[in-house]
Amino acid sequence: MTELNQTALKIVSNGKGILAADESTGTMTKRLDSINVASSPENRLIFREALFSSNGMENFIGGVILFDETIKQSTKSGNSIPELINQSGAVIGIKVDAGAKILAGSPEEKVTEGLDGLRERLTEYYKLGARFTKWRAVYNITEKHPSELAIKSNAHALARYAALVQEANMVPIVEPEVLMDGDHDINKCYEVTAKVLNECYKELKLHNVDLKGTILKPNMILPGNGSKNESRTGEIAKMTLKCLKENVPGEVPGIAFLSGGQTEIEATQNLNEINKINDTNFALTFSYGRALQQSALQYWGKNQEDLVNVQEIFSHRAKMNSLSTLARWTENLDKINIQ
């Protein structure tokens, strides 16, 4: 077993998943604006530090994806954020892409940038304690999209990124996200996601990426948020698993789903249903941002001094998603009473 494979398994195995706390300053500002909290480096740190030092970290979180600002911050006690996360036993990750920019040749679509200077940045992040990374590509579904150009350009960038990350002795998370925006049905999501995954793995193999030392972060197979055809959890689970089995090579050790616009409960319930029927060797887990943090954030907005209950709420969500990785979640278990 290689070191990268061991790291990947440590992040996604044994009922653990990933806390995606890598919101850019712009995204975090929108979240804090929504709860009437000023978006200063101090306030962003207070909230994130509360999550990173909660009880739920040790038992349910295998890895944390950080933003550039956060990996360089220190806590009030003088520990660096990487030291705090290490104490919980979780692996430190870092978002390394520079965001999705307009794709030349198809201006309604996006390509993710950030390859320039990436090798040097990876060296710095490794020294700061990072052992895995994340790069997100986005694809929108319309009658004309995604185009072959968007599918191929993003797959190529993801593969170049992954090769550089493994060269730096870190595990790359490959995140090709087919967005939920639109009125497409679940079959269209399946068809597009299959194409996207297929192209990604073609490029990863071409770039000699060791798939055993990677983690895939895909969308679940869902109807668009404007679709008239609602899909039941069972159908979502079956189609998601089928898509992964047909398009993801067996060497990939773990698949950590993004929540992508689902509510906290939907993301937990759908993951639970997928694991009920999981007959693969993939560890199927979560890499959630909003679906782990939303309730804790809302509570904090109203009770800024009460970080204890902020931690309780976050730990509860982490536990519920951990149960989902083991197919043991139920709606009854998901009730929480905050004093």
pLDDT-derived band at 117 (thresholds 50, 70, 90) equals very high
Cβ-contact 259, 289 below 8 angstroms = yes
Cβ-contact 246, 194 below 8 angstroms = yes
Section 290-307 average pLDDT: 95
Cβ-contact 115, 155 below 8 angstroms = no
Q: Which residues are marked as active site?
A: 175, 217
pLDDT tens, 13-27? 999 999 999 999 999
Cβ-contact 50, 310 below 8 angstroms = yes
pLDDT tens, 133-161? 999 999 999 999 999 999 999 999 999 99
pLDDT tens, 318-331? 999 999 999 999 99
3-334 CATH: 3.20.20.70
Burial label, 291 (beta-carbon count in 10 A; 0-12, 13-18, 19+):
buried
Return the closest-CA partner of residue 98 out of 68, 139, 142. 68
Res 339 pLDDT > 70: no
Question: What are the boundaries of each domain within the chain?
Answer: 3-334
Cβ-contact 160, 115 below 8 angstroms = yes
> In sequence order, what are the residues at sequence separation of 6 or more whose Cβ sits closer than 8 angstroms to the Cβ of residue 305?
none
Q: What angle do CA 189, 214, 259 make, to 5 degrees?
A: 40
Q: What's the whole-number average pLDDT of the chain?
A: 96
